[in-house]
Amino acid sequence: MGEDRHLIRRPPVTVEAAAVLTKVEVGTIYEWARRGVIHIEARGHTSMVQLAEVEKAAASRARPSRRGTLRDRLKDAEDGDRSADVVNIADLQELARNRDAR
């Protein structure tokens, strides 16, 4: 009991564990690190990250963009929201052909 023990309040987790816990792809986490959004620490052959950093980055990514991009609409479709304003590739191709015909 005389030992000085230090507890790490929020220990880092592996990139893979962070991906599972936040439902983000591993590649996305590495991309965020490459862009400087989060920091990855190498420990031997293991990459570690602060889970809070990944959660924060994932939360900012989940916010819809101001312009309502096609990517946001497709994400809604993947989540089960099949609203009428979701477009598909065939619709986009037809719009392009009509625009070019003018």
Residues in the chain: 102
Question: What is the structure's pLDDT at 42?
Answer: 93
Q: At 53, is the pLDDT very low, low, confident or very high (cuts 50, 70, 90)?
A: very high
DSSP secondary structure string, 67-95?
T--HHHHHHHHHTT---TT---HHHHHHH
- Compute the distance between CA of residue 69 and CA of residue 81 in angstroms, rounded to an integer: 16
Comparing 12-16, 61-65, 82-86, 91-95, the range with the smallest average pLDDT is 82-86
The highest-level CATH class for domain 1-63 is mainly alpha
Tell me: the pLDDT tens digits for 7-37?
Answer: 667 889 999 999 999 999 999 999 999 999 9
Locate the domains of the chain by residue range.
1-63, 65-102
Averaged pLDDT score across all residues of the chain:
79
- Cα–Cα distances in angstroms (integers) from residue 24 to residues 4, 45, 64, 65, in the given order: 37, 21, 16, 18
Question: What is the structure's pLDDT at 75?
Answer: 65
